[in-house]
Structure 1
């Protein structure tokens, strides 16, 4: 009843730990989900903030360049058009790494019924009249309508036209409350190769691709998303339909020359480009998802380790408890085994010392009794010492050819007292011509003696013991197989896995108070395995038991080696 209650408590502890781990895993799953959402929001906000910083740097520098290259109407009136533009250009070009930003700088000036185009020569800083380039035709038409027809419609921004910046020079307002007039335009043509190969990569490295992070970046025309201005990777230019972050890029301030306080066009025109960023892992969601899976895997491993540790704790606690019970049983059994012969020896010695016995025959009988029980004590002590030494040894202490027939005969002689007291008939069937085994003859004799004594003590009901030895082949190896069978009560199936455990004694042996220490079969197993053999048992309740010992037979070269060394 106590064992059942303890087993129930052990399993209850394991079940409780399993439930707690399951609850923790659910909580951990939900918590990682919330953390992942918060992390995704944080990463996206951080990316958008960095994109805005990139946009500010790009737009602010571009607007500064545009403002420096565009003279006011007053400057043009005072210095003349060519001098005003030349002075502005010479001051601007002094700034580091600026000249490569624009491929062409031009001025569109009204001339009769049309607009005249004058290009600034970068070497002489002088204006030269040229024909309008074909790729500038949309800009030419737009400026013509704005000047002659006073139309304010925005022009169509194409891939080529997106690189053209027209900056008006404002005059006096058209009427008292009307917008200021656009007298002429400074036209700047962006060097897209410089933007693609130097300016944008620098900004991306500074603001986006920091240590541990990598983003693919794409810049497209806002009015025509299929027109790509820049991509950080050619193979990734069109591979995403959504992005982790987007921002408007290339927004110009156009009100540099008009009178303050006058109505007019907006200071800032709509952004021409859109910049998009996508994490190279696939998306920020993919990064967060991988981190979540990694965290869940770590949590699962930790919870599994906790559960395994708890189960192992229960298992080893039960094992330690069972070992303690076996040791207590062993102490009780060995105490009984020692007390009985000591009591007999003490009683016989007391009678002899006090001359209670005077007859010579009785004196001889008492002497034989003392010797018999002293031998039994020596046998118990030898068994304990052999068990201790065998547990520590990996190989036999002595290695020599051992005859199985002679070993069985010596074991029978050593166990003769148990066999005689059990009144069992012993049948011995040892095949002739068996090869020897290499090992310790004393240890092997002890092993078979324990096996025969065990059969005699537990097989008294059947009054029969059979010992057989044969040669067999197993996987190309020669083995000596020794079988010891009895017709005793047999071993319960539940006890079979434990019969070779140290200190273990079956329920029937304890209840019937059968003599024994619980070390005999354990010692048999240790000696057999030390000799590279194996031992097994077959048993049925009510029909008896059969123990099977298999030992490797000596090879001819081993036998010859020992024969030569002996000679």
Structure 2
């Protein structure tokens, strides 16, 4: 194994190791991403429940309690707190109505007058329980109402322990919630605030799961949620609120900036009369992490594949460069030999003529013909090399014009006249009348066909048959140069148009050449937007077919 192959093998091995390490890293990152998503979801859920339940408990504390004295005086303090809450809250429409049962009379809070006034009891308030938990929810007014036993919280307005009589029950407060506002305004706002669009959120009754109060999408309730927690937990404690004064407006300000119950943080496992269910749009957090992992693996695989393709392309280019270098060395060696032979013949003939060895006119003519033939062969080789160099560098410009195919073929036959005479081959041309003209550089096309004709004459026994046929095809003219010569070996056919390439049997024989003729043919034809192909069987001859587009305005 040579060093380029060793280098490629080493790079491929390194890429394989890199792929394994990258896969392991991506899997670990995916696990960490899954844990991060779960933590972020839990934190968002906690913030969501904190804000919702916090607002509910602010309402409870605002409506609770009563001052000393007769009923009209006892209602001033909660009325002031309710007015303060309404002025400060962003959810003013959360409560539809505040009611108070005090001294056997029902009172309703008037938001415009900011005070409680006597009112008739709605039908749904009939039969309120005389005793029960300090806070409880009931059905009312087509929605939900909250009943609060009125207890004056400790620390409201003055320091020190409260007198025992102030712990006594002072009737009931009833808070009628605006369920339509909660479902269509408050919950959507909170969901948009605390959850990203990647999540579907649903709020439903814990006891009646089919009773849905809010759903961010139609599929929010489908499947297994990624996180569930209680919402709307009714807890009331008479714990003091620092800074909670009895003023009409100012007393509510510090209270609204405090958490409802100091030291109490929502627990995702707690109970509530409602339940929040959150699920990722991908179906689950695991599915979301898997999608990210699969995407990262796909990107990594594409990058590694591109790297492998780059290495493979580099290996192919290196092999081709090595092969081209070897062919160029063979070309230099072959051309040197080919140049040396005619030069030696010309030099020897010139010496004989100069030294007077040749005396008769017949010998002089024979020597002249020999020098002319070798000079023509030398000129042909130089022209081949110069033409290839010109095409390779891109300096040679192909100037197209409408050209008659008959004139091109005749020009090629004339250029090979000496070779035809030398090989004693029969060259047959078949050109129908009315053949459309082609858009071509006439000199380049003559050189192209002359190369094919020269090869047909060269690679065969003396006196073999060569045929040139032109025909019309749709949109093009087809030129076929066929012979009954040696043919081309099957293994040489894929490389026959490569520069400097000579078939094995030809290179090992005595037939001279540079390996540039067919390469020039292909380059010239492609420069004319045409095609060239070959069909050949060893020992039976070859057929080269050129197809050239017709000139503009010509009819095929």
Deviations 1:450-504 (A, max 9, x none): 22321232213x7412213243x43x3463433321232x211111011111211
Deviations 1:364-384 (A, max 9, x none): 544443333233222222222
Aligned-pair RMSD on alpha carbons?
3.9
Q: Name 1:435's counterpart in structure 2.
A: 435
Q: Name 1:250's counterpart in structure 2.
A: 232
For the residues of structure 1 that align with 2:135 and 2:223, how far apart are their CA atoms?
Answer: 28
Q: Is the partner of 2:151 in helix, strand or coil? A: strand
Query: Mean alpha-carbon deviation: is it higher for 360-369 or for 520-529?
Result: 360-369
Which of 467, 484, 487 is 1:486 aligned to?
Answer: 484
Q: Name 2:201's counterpart in structure 1.
A: 217
Change (3 A) 1:270 1:184: farther
Which of 23, 41, 50 is 2:44 aligned to?
Answer: 50
How far does residue 117 in structure 1 lie from its aligned partner after superposition?
4.3
Instruction: Give yes or no for contact 1:463–1:487 (8 Å, CA) kept in 2.
Output: no
Q: How does 1:260-275 map to 2 (within 5 A)?
A: 271-275=272-276
Matched, 1:70 2:60: no
How far does residue 52 in structure 1 lie from its aligned partner after superposition?
0.8
For the residues of structure 2 that align with 1:378 and 1:492, how far apart are their CA atoms?
Answer: 29
Matched, 1:203 2:197: no
Change (3 A) 1:70 1:536: closer
Q: Name 2:210's counterpart in structure 1.
A: 226
Q: How does 1:168-187 map to 2 (within 5 A)?
A: 168-169=150-151, 182=169, 184-187=171-174
Q: Name 1:496's counterpart in structure 2.
A: 493
Which of 520, 525, 530 is 1:523 aligned to?
Answer: 520
Instruction: Give yes or no for contact 1:167–1:254 (8 Å, CA) kept in 2.
Output: no
Query: Higher helix fraction: Structure 1 or Structure 2?
Result: 1
Q: Is the partner of 2:291 in helix, strand or coil? A: helix
Q: How does 1:425-464 map to 2 (within 5 A)?
A: 425-431=425-431, 433=433, 435=435, 437-438=437-438, 439-460=440-461, 463-464=463-464
Unaligned runs of 5+ in 2: 154-166, 241-262, 265-269
For the residues of structure 2 that align with 1:358 and 1:124, how far apart are their CA atoms?
Answer: 142
For the residues of structure 2 that align with 1:387 and 1:217, how far apart are their CA atoms?
Answer: 74
Instruction: Give yes or no for contact 2:71–2:102 (8 Å, CA) kept in 1.
Output: no
Q: How does 1:315-394 map to 2 (within 5 A)?
A: 315-353=316-354, 355=355, 357=357, 359-361=359-361, 362-390=363-391, 392=394
Q: Name 1:106's counterpart in structure 2.
A: 99
How far does residue 558 in structure 1 lie from its aligned partner after superposition?
8.8
Deviations 1:185-235 (A, max 9, x none): 3332223344334433443333224xxx354332223333222233345x4
Deviations 1:78-135 (A, max 9, x none): x233312222312441342456443232334576xxxx6444444362452644x443
Unaligned runs of 5+ in 1: 147-151, 172-179, 259-266, 560-567
**TM-score under structure 1 length normalisation:** 0.76
Query: Mean alpha-carbon deviation: is it higher for 37-46 or for 360-369?
Result: 360-369
Deviations 1:223-258 (A, max 9, x none): 33222233345x45x642432333322234423189
For the residues of structure 2 that align with 1:35 and 1:543, how far apart are their CA atoms?
Answer: 68
Which of 79, 88, 94 is 1:89 aligned to?
Answer: 79
Change (3 A) 1:443 1:222: closer
How far does residue 352 in structure 1 lie from its aligned partner after superposition?
4.4
Q: Name 1:164's counterpart in structure 2.
A: 146
How far does residue 155 in structure 1 lie from its aligned partner after superposition?
6.5
For the residues of structure 1 that align with 2:48 and 2:410, how far apart are their CA atoms?
Answer: 98
Number of residue-to-residue matches in the alignment: 509
Change (3 A) 1:224 1:182: farther
Q: Is the partner of 1:433 in helix, strand or coil? A: coil
**TM-score under structure 2 length normalisation:** 0.78
For the residues of structure 1 that align with 2:143 and 2:476, how far apart are their CA atoms?
Answer: 95
Matched, 1:125 2:126: no
